[in-house]
A = this chain, B = another copy of it.
Amino acid sequence: MATVLITGTCQQPHVHAETVDQVRKMMTDSNRLLALADIFKVLGDHTRVRILHALSFSELCVCDLADLLGMTPSAVSHQLRVLRSAKIVKYRKAGKNIFYSLDDAHVAGLMAEGLEHSICAQEDAPAP
């Protein structure tokens, strides 16, 4: 009988028009937020975080990293390529080896800030 309800869309003229408009004006360019998300995406992988953490102590070659992480050099190399593309690490050739090191201070800062604060897995603190 009744017309099929058009679900999935907010039908009020605007739920909170003023607030939404104000926020819309204050919000940063979407492309900038997309770029930010892309950086976080690069950092959002266990292997890559461990690579960056290791490189924060010393430059290392691929085999060093593979040994440290208990992974195949191939797998490490694939992830290094991602980090290289994002300009987060740089490399230096030395004979048969290629030494990687951190390249982006901002990203290193994000890593450090993430580690400083006990953002990670702060378990329950049962109060008496």
Contact = CB atoms under 8 A, between A and B. Distances in A.
Contacts of A22: 57-58
A120 interface: yes
B44 A121 contact: no
Interface of A: 8-10, 12, 14-16, 19-20, 22-24, 26-28, 30-46, 48-50, 53-54, 57-58, 60-61, 63-64, 66-68, 72-74, 97, 104, 106-107, 109-111, 113-115, 117, 119-121
- Tell me the dominant secondary structure on chain A's binding face: helix
A57 B9 contact: no
Contact of A119 (B15, B39, B72): B39
Closest 3 CB pairs of A and B: A41-B44, A10-B63, A35-B120
